[in-house]
Amino acid sequence: MATRSQSSQRWLKEHFSDPYVKKAQAEGMRSRAAYKLEELAERDRLLKPGMVVVDLGAAPGGWSQWVRQELNRLDPSKPGRVIASDILDMPGLAGVDFLHGDFREDAVLSQLLDMLNGDTVDLVLSDMAPNKSGMDAVDQPRAMHLVELAMDFADGHLRTGGSFLIKLFQGAGSDDYLRELRRRYAKVVIRKPAASRKRSPEVYVLATGKLAKMK
């Protein structure tokens, strides 16, 4: 128990001294993760006016918040749409449609499609991660299950030519997952944004140019 307490104290110290945490607090962003997306999106010019964006596993809302602000900045006359979904509840964000529920469930997925109201999806985002147990043999399969679910959603609902950005934990199954993405998209790149902690096995995978047919 003492070890866990020391570990928690170290995490808290690191968290509150983190420059991205301080920046998020100063700028009114919901999470430091917003700056990961900012770097990724700006490097690859990911957002365009009028886009329809679906953010899976959105809570607490840092990614949706940043996307909404950026779409408004790019062209206020073409605000596009941001639809966020999570099994956790999330306080409302102006200009973001939020669906509280598990998109794996048919009823929730049906609600999500109703919210789209026939709009095609230009960009699917997923920063989903499982609750960590601290055991790789448990955590990595859980993480891979989530990224596979997100890929399935993009398979079914992302338009041809659209983009998919996802957090991936490197480990068992991740190489096979990347191979599957390369069958589906014209270009797949791996990024490690500055706001991503160096010790974390997480990387971000950007797949662009969804193909009409898999290779």
Residue 1 has pLDDT above 60, yes or no: no
pLDDT at 198: 77
**Residue 18 is assigned to a ligand binding site:** no
Domain of 70, CATH number, reads 3.40.50.150
Residue 172 has pLDDT above 50, yes or no: yes
Show the beta-strand stretches assigned E in 44-140. 52-56, 81-86, 96-100, 121-126
Show the beta-strand stretches assigned E in the chain. 52-56, 81-86, 96-100, 121-126, 158-169, 185-191, 202-210
pLDDT band at 2 (very low <50, low <70, confident <90, very high): very low
16 within a domain of the structure (yes/no): no
**Residue 119 is assigned to a ligand binding site:** no
pLDDT band at 46 (very low <50, low <70, confident <90, very high): very high
Tell me the residue range of the domain where 132 lies: 31-210
How many domains does one find in the chain?
Answer: 1
Distances (CA, A) of 68 to 48, 51, 60, 71, 196: 12, 10, 14, 5, 22
Between β-strands 121-126 and 158-169, what pairing exists: parallel, antiparallel or unpaired? parallel
Whole-angstrom distance, CA of residue 53 vs CA of residue 101: 18
6 within a domain of the structure (yes/no): no
164 within a domain of the structure (yes/no): yes
pLDDT tens profile 191-214: 999 888 777 889 999 999 999 999
Query: Which segment, 1-5, 28-32, 110-114, is predicted with the most confidence on average?
Result: 110-114
pLDDT at 27: 77
pLDDT band at 6 (very low <50, low <70, confident <90, very high): low
**Residue 209 is assigned to a ligand binding site:** no
- C-beta separation of 159 from 122 below 8 A: yes
21 within a domain of the structure (yes/no): no
pLDDT at 10: 58
pLDDT at 65: 97
Lookup: tokens for 206: 């950007």
Question: Can 167 be counted among the known catalytic residues?
Answer: yes
pLDDT at 11: 46
Share of the chain above pLDDT 90, in %: 68
Q: What is the mean pLDDT of residues 176-198?
A: 93
- C-beta separation of 107 from 96 below 8 A: no
Q: Give me the catalytic one of 167, 187, 210, 215.
A: 167
Q: Is 33 exposed, middle or buried (0-12, 13-18, 19+ CB in 10 A)?
A: buried
Q: Which residues pair with 202 in a beta bridge?
A: 169
116 within a domain of the structure (yes/no): yes
26 within a domain of the structure (yes/no): no
- Secondary structure (DSSP) of 166-185: EEEE-STTHHHHHHHHHHHE
pLDDT tens profile 111-152: 999 999 989 999 999 999 887 777 777 889 999 999 999 999
Q: What is the mean pLDDT of the chain?
A: 89
Residue 13 has pLDDT above 60, yes or no: no
**Residue 63 is assigned to a ligand binding site:** yes
The amino acid present at 191, given as its one-letter code, is R
**Residue 175 is assigned to a ligand binding site:** no
1 within a domain of the structure (yes/no): no
